[in-house]
């Protein structure tokens, strides 16, 4: 069974609820009925409700950019898995490099959040990736091996099918620098081998591994053609309706060829 490609837009801390509605209204008419691939948009928490209302009767799924590992209680400023589910959120980005570097999220925290998401039937998009210094000191595989082994530890076998991994080289995020398709493919194949060690070859073959890092309409076709690249996690280009629509079209083309 080929893996269903996934194109996900991470809107980060951009767009008020009003602006987010404008953006989703520009996207949905173009791609809201396609069923060839999966599409997710992840607006800020404050726009989840209004964007979600505009996704009813569309095939576009709603994602969040973070979630608490705690179920409820005195955790000021946090948002739980149940709160997201209540807004019809289906996916959640976990361990984005911005959360790791600015908010101190460790692999152990990523693991707790991933387990909490799966427990409440949210599909986690777990981000891994090396910094420029790590790549230049030949630590890419060591770093990513650790992020996968710790971040995805102890996942019950029957929940693993809902896990999505995103390889996002930190040096490529928001910088305009993209990993070449060959560089990305090498790491994606490594990640799949790590997943096989954790959950067996069959589960690893079913897991989507997205690429993220300055993916744009002009480089997406080449990246998505690689055997182990199963879609994209897109930041900047996801904020421009025509670019995001073009990326979904690239995903559909790649899906037809895989």
Candidate list 151, 213, 231, 251; residue touching ligand PEP; CB under 6 A: 213
Tokens at 15, concatenated = 């767009």
Tokens at 131, concatenated = 């910094």
Can you spell out the DSSP letters for 213-229?
A: SS--HHHHHHHHTSTT-
Least Cβ distance, residue 166 to ligand PEP (angstroms): 7
Stretch that binds ligand PEP, among 28-36, 66-74, 100-108, 227-235 (CB under 6 A): 227-235
The active-site residue out of 105, 134, 168, 249 is 168
Q: Is 105 in the site for ligand PEP (CB under 6 A)?
A: no
Which residue bears the tokens 């800020």? Answer: 44
In the chain, where does DSSP find H-type helix?
Answer: 17-31, 48-53, 81-86, 97-103, 107-119, 132-136, 140-151, 181-199, 201-206, 217-224, 241-257
Q: Which of residues 134-163 bind ligand PEP (CB under 6 A)?
A: none
Q: Does residue 105 have an active-site annotation?
A: no
Q: Does residue 186 have an active-site annotation?
A: no
Identity of the residue, 198 or 215, whose beta carbon is nearer to ligand PEP in the bound complex:
215
Q: Which of residues 159-178 bind ligand PEP (CB under 6 A)?
A: 168, 173-174
Cα–Cα nearest to 67, from 49, 87, 94: 94
Q: Is 9 in the site for ligand PEP (CB under 6 A)?
A: no
Contact 147, 111 (CB under 8 A): no
Residue 100: count of CB within 10 angstroms of its CB: 20
Q: Is 44 in the site for ligand PEP (CB under 6 A)?
A: no
| Spatial distance between the Cα atoms of 243 and 220, rounded to a whole number of angstroms | 11
Contact letters (x/-) for ligand PEP, 231-250, by CB under 6 A? --xxxxx-------------
Least Cβ distance, residue 177 to ligand PEP (angstroms): 9
The active-site residue out of 96, 105, 134, 188 is 96
Query: Which residues of this protein are in contact with ligand PEP, per CB under 6 A?
Result: 10, 168, 173-174, 212-215, 233-237
Catalytically active residues, by annotation: 96, 168
């Amino acid at each position: 069974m080929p893996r269903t490609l996934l194109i996900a837009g991470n809107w980060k801390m951009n767009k008020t609820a009003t602006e987010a509605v404008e953006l989703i209204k520009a996207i949905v008419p173009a791609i809201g009925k396609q069923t060839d691939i999966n599409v997710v948009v992840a607006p800020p928490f404050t726009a989840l409700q209004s964007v979600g209302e505009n996704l009813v009767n569309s095939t576009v799924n709603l994602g969040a950019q973070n979630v608490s590992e705690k179920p409820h209680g005195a955790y000021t400023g946090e948002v739980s898995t149940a709160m997201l589910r209540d807004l019809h959120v289906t996916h959640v980005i976990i361990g984005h490099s911005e959360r790791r570097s600015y908010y101190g999220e460790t692999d152990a925290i990523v693991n707790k959040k991933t387990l909490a998401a799966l427990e409440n039937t949210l599909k986690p998009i777990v981000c891994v990736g090396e910094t420029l210094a790590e790549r230049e000191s030949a630590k890419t595989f060591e770093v990513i091996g650790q992020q996968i082994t710790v971040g995805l530890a102890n996942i019950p076998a029957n929940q693993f099918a809902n896990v999505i991994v995103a390889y996002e080289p930190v040096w490529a995020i928001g910088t305009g620098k993209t990993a070449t398709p060959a560089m990305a493919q090498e790491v994606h194949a490594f990640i799949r081998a790590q997943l096989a060690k954790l959950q067996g070859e069959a589960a690893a073959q079913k897991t989507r591994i997205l690429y993220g890092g300055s993916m744009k309409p002009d480089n997406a076709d080449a990246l998505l053609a690689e055997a182990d690249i199963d879609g994209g996690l897109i930041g900047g280009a996801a904020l421009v309706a025509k670019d995001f629509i073009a990326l979904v079209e690239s995903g559909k083309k790649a899906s037809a060829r895989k």
